[in-house]
Structure 1
Amino acid sequence: HSSVNPETRVKVLELAEQLDYQRNMLAISLITKKTNTIGIIVPEFKSSYFPKAIIGAQEVATRAGYSIVISQSNESYETEIANAKVMLANQVDGVLVSITKETRNFDHLKVFQRKGIPIVFFNRVCDDMDVPKVIVDDYDAAYRAVEFLVKRKKKRIAHLGGPLSLRISEKRMNGYLDCLRKHKMEIDDDLIINYDLNLDKLKIYVNHLLNLDKRPDAIFAVNDPTAIEAIQVIKKRGLRVPQDIAVVGFSDDYVSSLIDPPLTTISQPVTDIGRTAAELLIDQINRDQSEWKSIIKVLNTELIVRESA
């Protein structure tokens, strides 16, 4: 405070440091009605996507004076419910959420709205809730990825998709389908496999494609982990990538440029997605609930051409 003698202030700060003094944030929160914490709920940490998004969100949060509480749901709806309850118990000022592959009911997330706690979705979003969202144009990106394969003279392009309960899976599949329709290519149901993103099962699905009488000459995968696993199976079968089967992924994970052959993929501005989501959330926190706006931010993607296609 300005009325405190400078010498006294220095002595108090020195003593506080010697005693490892920490401000009682619980007591402060009782007065201010704020904890200066932001919750982040993500579905998994197996890929590099969500750690990168969290890095971006934390940069913005720290700059604005917020700490973050992170939980991952291990792709489990029940765990996501438990994580939401933890955020409520910790009285976070706002929450960033990307849902699990199992999430079809959103009552546990609507609680935040009812309690006046702002929520922002990113990547895997909930269309049932009128709140801010940060996404990429999954349909357009998928369309461009498949069109790239068409221009490479690929005739039988398979799609390894995610669960259609996720909007990103649905949009990426629709981009794939519409690109084939535009180029008057046959849509063969045998070449379309939607799975639950459990990589342990993927070998079965890829081998199914390779065992077809007319096997695919290209695969567009819903994400990079799927594409990378597909490449491993293809190579184990003695086939060449991309000469026999080209592969394109989606997300540009850290490892995608390091595998053999390096993966052609759609790059998402993942760190910027995290930053943008945090900026939207903090803006909501600083406004009266009557002023909240359900803004949808769509960030650009880029096709990164490497050696797998």
Structure 2
Amino acid sequence: MPRVVAIANYKGGVGKTTLASVIAATLSERFGRRVLIVDADPQANITEVFIPPTSFEKLLGFSKTHQKVFSIEWIAGSGEPVIYRVSDNLAVIPSKPEYIGLAKYVIVPAERIYSLRNDVDQKLSEFEYVILDLPPQMYGLIGPLIKMADALISPVTKTSFALTALYYLIRDIRGTPPNDKPPFIGAVLTRFRTIEKINIDIYRRRTKRIVEEAYSSYGMKWELEGKIPSPVFENVFFAHPKLADIRALPFDPSENVRLLRVLRGRVKYAPSIISFVEPLVKEVEHRVSKALE
């Protein structure tokens, strides 16, 4: 069965899509895992990352001809999903911009979450990982969808609002039955510069405290305590000039596997990006394995 990993934070602009894209791309193209991304965000950012505009237009036609639906309709139970193959190991269930005006009216009942998870386990069993790129809290999709995941990761930037959003995210999840699912496997510090060692240490401590406070408000302990040293990832997803306005694509077919961007054509990421992405993704795999023990 696939391992379902949710990437979420109630706050927008903290790097959820960027983190989801590099985790998925690195798992699939560097580590050889079979990965499916579900773009559950009506803004369709990760769809734009991985699907060129001409291919997206063809997908629209394909979906109508073959009675397939895009992500949010599939999530709501309105049909079978259209799946776009990015590479041999990577695929996307895309979103589309039309959802921006509709998603706030979508209600996903609890029973659909169970059937959706069954769909993933039975019909999408070819994949080893399913990465859920979730929207901010302005949409009601985030809470129900998290409940179908095997693990939750939350990106955190150096703002108090990102930490506050993490606090309420954990509280809401732990306060909603089943309150032991999904396991929170850690917060990833994002958009720090490599030279900010003091800031990183400060925010690692602050984030750990916020997580502990969120759990203790329900008289609980972090579920992976004793299995993993800290609820904050050891590896930081550092800021990088090429990540300021672009995200990730999976590989350069003409050379060695590497992350790229698409901006007025195909442009390579700097190889230095791999130096902090690969250790982070190795830690993701380790933490997910611990959560499923």
Fold in common (TM above 0.5)? no
TM-score normalised by structure 1 residue count = 0.29
Larger RCO: 1 or 2 (CA < 8 Å, sep 6+): 2
Structure whose CA Rg is larger:
1
TM-score normalised by structure 2 residue count = 0.30
